[in-house]
Amino acid sequence: MLHKLVSAPINLVIKIGEKVKEEADKELYDLPTIQQKLIQLQMMYELDEIPEEAYKAKEEELLIRYETAKRLEIEQWEQMTKKKEG
């Protein structure tokens, strides 16, 4: 009984941490979100709202995130396919 009282707050913190990580990953690696940010960035650059250096740096960051997200998506599909076959 005492063990449950002591470990309950720790388990709650762990679950909250996992949820925060899940949401952060979703924001970082969500393909439609990244695509939208690339479009917004392009528009800002074309309207001279940001300098070329800032544009190129942010574009590179977003493209790296896009590549990572695409790789993660492919890995998920491969795992799902293996589960269905197995």
Q: Which pLDDT tens digit goes with each residue over 27-85?
A: 788 999 999 999 999 999 999 999 999 999 999 999 999 999 999 899 989 988 887 77
pLDDT of residue 2: 58
The domain locations on the chain are 28-85
Residue 8 reports pLDDT greater than 90: no
Q: Which amino acid is at 4?
A: K
Alpha carbons 47 and 18: distance in angstroms, whole number:
40
- The pTM score is 0.67
pLDDT of residue 1: 60
